[in-house]
């Protein structure tokens, strides 16, 4: 393979990874390195369909006035992920506004944005957002196609297991295996018509094949940890009188609510529950769930002394229990994202070493009987 061909292949791979990251981020409700806008509310900074480099809020540092943030809105655009600029801060939260909008989101009945609602912050250089033009159109089309496939498979199989972020992760991994099998069979058929001398220097690098499948596995594991987690909001009315109504608490007093922690997968998980607002306490703070398991946690909600409606937040952090519990807890104490990085590195590293050990370090060639046999052994053991 020539240097130019390698360069083209590398660029194509980077573009593919960018699109996958954007699509996965939209399914997770958590931008992964890149995000995009679909409306003109941020013009001229971001036109509809423009993408931008997004840093997850957990590692982006403090939010300040002038930052462009991605947050989970309650009313703006019908709710969901919204990208607007922070134009102020009050005791109740951040004030946000689209650059093209004449008024703030809060003037349009959107509550002040709380820190747990912010999922990412756009990277800015010298005050200007780093823009990746026109990627949103490609991602929206890809996402629509994926959702259509998910719905049709759900109807065909009679199960909802292929829907949503977890179903998407399962489909992503399954399709990658199927694509590799089909490609191997096609290359094998073509190889029967080629000479052995020509086939020795052609084919796909084993490192590239195994690396691509490793990335899919890591994306699947990350989805399983990130998709079910995130902030949970409790709406509380601080009242001057005691009331039996749900969410209505006499001011200055405390009532308990139940928060259900469940594991719909077959791999045990470790879950940490972290109060993200004043007036929130939870017990237990840490639970371990087996396959298809569920546990009830008790959340103590304290009403402020002033009457009114308040939004209180609890954040859930979830990790696959493939590392010792003490290791996960120690990493979590440093930063909530460290266990995810360590788990992804463990799973990805083991999978990559296994793949290279089974397939070798050469190229996947159509005429190589040894490589084809190794590929079949690798896939059979994987499946």
Domain-ending residue, one of 99, 115, 136:
136
Of 324, 354, 377, which one is at a domain's C-terminal end? Answer: 324
> What is the mean predicted confidence (pLDDT) over 55-60?
81
Number of domains the chain contains: 2
> In this structure, is residue 88 part of a structural domain?
yes
Q: How sure is the predictor about 195, in pLDDT bands with cuts at 50, 70 and 90?
A: very low
199: pLDDT confidence band, cut at 50, 70 and 90? very low
pLDDT exceeds 90 at position 265: no
pLDDT in tens, 91-136: 889 999 999 999 999 998 899 999 989 988 999 998 899 998 877 7
- H or E segment and range at residue 259: strand 254-262
163-170, long-range: CB < 8 A, 24+ apart: 164/27, 164/227, 165/27, 165/28, 165/223, 165/227, 166/223, 166/224, 166/227, 166/228, 166/264, 166/265, 168/24, 168/27, 168/223, 169/219, 169/220, 169/223, 169/224, 169/227, 170/220
Residue 354 lies in a domain: no
* Segments forming the whole domain that contains residue 238: 231-324
Domain boundary among 279, 308, 324: 324
Kindly state whether residues 132 and 251 are assigned to the same domain.
Answer: no
**What pLDDT, on the 0 to 100 scale, is given for residue 382?**
44
- As a whole number, the mean pLDDT across the chain is 79
Lowest-confidence range among 180-189, 241-250, 364-373? 364-373
pLDDT of residue 312: 92
Question: So what's the pLDDT on residue 169?
Answer: 57
Bridge partners of 313, per DSSP, are 233
Q: Are residues 8 and 117 in the same domain?
A: yes
Q: Please give the Cα distance from 171 to 235 (Å, whole number).
A: 36
Is residue 164 assigned to a domain?
no
Sign of CA dihedral 178, 182, 185, 187: negative
- Identify which of 221, 309, 312 has the alpha carbon closest to the alpha carbon of residue 265: 221
CATH of the domain at 46: 2.10.109.10
Per-residue confidence (pLDDT) for residue 198, from 0 to 100? 47
Q: Is residue 63 part of a domain?
A: yes
Indicate whether 223 belongs to any domain: no
Residue with tokens 């292949």: 9
Same domain, 125 and 235: no
């Amino acid at each position: 393979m020539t240097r130019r061909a390698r360069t083209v292949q590398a660029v194509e791979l980077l573009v593919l990874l960018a699109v996958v990251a954007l699509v996965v981020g939209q399914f997770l409700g958590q931008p992964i390195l890149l995000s995009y806008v679909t409306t003109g509310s941020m013009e001229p900074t971001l036109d509809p369909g423009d993408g931008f480099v997004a840093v997850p809020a957990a590692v982006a540092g403090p939010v300040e006035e002038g930052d462009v943030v991605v947050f989970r809105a309650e009313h703006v655009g019908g709710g969901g992920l919204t990208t607007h600029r922070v134009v102020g801060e009050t005791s109740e939260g951040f004030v946000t506004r689209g650059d093209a909008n004449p008024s703030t989101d809060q003037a349009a009945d959107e509550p002040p944005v709380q820190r747990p609602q912010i999922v990412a912050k756009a990277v800015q250089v010298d005050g200007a957002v780093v823009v990746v033009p026109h990627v949103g159109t490609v991602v929206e089309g890809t996402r629509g196609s994926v959702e259509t496939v998910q719905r049709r498979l759900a109807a065909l199989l009679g199960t909802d297991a292929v829907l949503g972020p977890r179903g998407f992760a399962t489909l992503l991994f399954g399709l990658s295996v199927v694509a590799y099998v089909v490609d191997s069979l096609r290359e094998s058929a073509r190889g029967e018509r080629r000479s052995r001398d020509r086939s020795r220097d052609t084919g796909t690098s084993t490192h590239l094949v195994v690396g691509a499948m490793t990335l899919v596995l890591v994306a699947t594991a990350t989805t399983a940890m990130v998709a079910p987690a995130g902030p949970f909001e409790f709406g509380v009315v601080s009242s001057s009188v005691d009331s039996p109504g749900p969410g209505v608490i006499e001011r200055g007093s405390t009532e308990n609510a139940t928060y259900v922690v469940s594991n719909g997968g077959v791999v045990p998980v470790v879950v940490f529950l972290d109060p993200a607002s004043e007036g929130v306490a939870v017990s237990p703070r840490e639970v371990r769930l087996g396959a298809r398991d569920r546990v009830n946690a008790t959340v103590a909600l304290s009403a402020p002394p002033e009457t009114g409606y308040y939004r209180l937040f609890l954040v859930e952090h979830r990790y696959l229990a493939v590392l010792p519990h003490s290791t996960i807890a120690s990493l979590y104490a440093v930063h909530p994202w460290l266990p995810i990085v360590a788990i992804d590195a463990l799973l990805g590293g083991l999978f990559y070493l296994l793949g290279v050990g089974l397939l070798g370090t050469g190229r996947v060639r159509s005429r190589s009987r040894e490589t084809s046999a190794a590929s079949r052994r690798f896939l059979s053991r994987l499946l």
